[in-house]
């Protein structure tokens, strides 16, 4: 991914609310920051739904991110490395949750 593509992806993450505009770090290029983003994505999922990132083969750096629920596996992103895969998953997650609202975390707010 080029620097420009990383900047555009980071801007989209900010627009979606997954990354703060003044937040330090870069989830598109840094494993630690991508892990932080991963935790934020997991918080959007119901308790029995899991986000998993795995290598596509045992000798590859290419990563695939999947949503697991029971016996259901939904691949939502594949990329050349972990940060890029997690960022692509973040961009795909809102649409995935629109299609599968039962997998979204329930936002319980106290009543009036």
pLDDT in tens, the chain (112 residues): 899 999 999 999 999 999 999 999 999 999 999 999 999 999 999 999 999 998 887 777 799 999 999 999 999 999 999 999 999 999 999 999 999 999 999 764 444 5
Residue 33 pLDDT: 97
- 8-20 in b/e form (b: 16+ CB < 10 A) is ebbeebeeeebbe
> C-alpha angle with apex 3: 58 to 62, nearest 5 degrees?
10
Residue 106 pLDDT: 79
Pairwise CA distance, residues 13 & 47, whole Å = 23
All structural domains of the chain, each given as residue ranges with its CATH number in brackets, are 3-103 (3.30.2120)
Span between the terminal Cα atoms of the chain, in Å:
48
> C-alpha angle with apex 93: 73 to 82, nearest 5 degrees?
75
Look at residue 100 and give its three-state secondary structure: coil
Q: Is 84 exposed, middle or buried (0-12, 13-18, 19+ CB in 10 A)?
A: buried
Report pTM: 0.89
């Amino acid at each position: 991914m080029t620097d420009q593509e990383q900047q555009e992806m980071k801007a989209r993450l900010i627009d979606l609310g997954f990354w703060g505009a003044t937040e330090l770090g870069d989830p598109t290029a840094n494993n630690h920051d991508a892990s932080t983003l991963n935790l934020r994505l997991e918080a959007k999922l119901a308790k029995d739904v899991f986000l998993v990132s795995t290598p596509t083969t045992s000798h590859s750096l290419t990563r695939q991110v999947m949503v697991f629920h029971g016996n259901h596996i939904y691949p939502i992103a594949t990329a050349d490395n972990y940060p890029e895969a997690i960022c692509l998953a973040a961009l795909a997650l809102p649409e995935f949750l629109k299609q599968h609202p039962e997998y979204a975390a329930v936002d319980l707010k106290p009543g009036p």
